[in-house]
Amino acid sequence: MKRLASLCAALVLSAAAASAQTAGLKIALVDLQKCFNDYYKTEEAKGRINEQGSGYQKEFNDRMEDYKKLVDQINGLREGEKDPSLSEAARKERQDRLKEKIQEAQTRERELNDFRNTSSRLLQDQQMRMRKTIVDEINKKVEEFSKGKYNLVLDKSGQTLNGTSSLVYTEGVTDITDEIIKSLNKDKPAAPAKK
């Protein structure tokens, strides 16, 4: 009986302590996805990635044109082989050139695939690095803004593993998203004057 009474007393005390601790808890919400999307550096990073991607695409297209020309040469050599007026020596020479061109085309095809894979991987890596840098800047800004004001800041854009919102209901909780976006964009360089 004594043991049950002490257990009940411990439960009441711990509940009272938890209630007192919760009463002093200051919670804020931030939409990190909105902060990311509205941060001027995100647009700059997307622009750089798109520019680099366009450069890779142009180079790939140029290489593809060269490859297509080579394939056309191969097709021309194949058609020329069928010419009945060719001597045996001329036919042999065309066959040798055809073999060389086919080997060259196979090499170019491998190079095209390697270039496409490498450039795609480089773009993904750069995109991930830029995203990480921007997310780190946003998190730092949230931390600086919240220090001394809030005990806990939750990301309301976060989702659970099954794709649902991690926050179902909130009331009386401060949303600091707009303040964070304003703080992030305060150093945005002025747009160049249009001529």
Euclidean distance between CA atoms 15 and 103, whole angstroms = 79
At 171-189, the pLDDT tens digits run 889 999 999 999 999 988 8
pLDDT of residue 171: 85
Share of the chain above pLDDT 70, in %: 87
pLDDT at 21 over 80: no
pLDDT at 117 over 60: yes
pLDDT of residue 62: 95
Identify the bridge partners of residue 153 per DSSP, sorted by sequence position.
28
At 53-63, the pLDDT tens digits run 999 999 999 99
pLDDT of residue 11: 46
Contact 157, 33 (CB under 8 A): yes
Task: Work out the mean pLDDT of the chain and round it to a whole number.
Answer: 86
For the chain, how many residues are written? 195
- Tell me which DSSP letter residue 112 carries: H
Burial status of residue 88 (CB atoms within 10 A of its CB: 0-12, 13-18, 19 or more): exposed
Contact 24, 172 (CB under 8 A): no
Q: What's the rounded mean pLDDT across residues 5-31?
A: 58
- Domain parsing of the chain, residue ranges: 29-185
DSSP 41-81: HHHHHHHHHHHHHHHHHHHHHHHHHHHHHHHHHHHHHHHHH
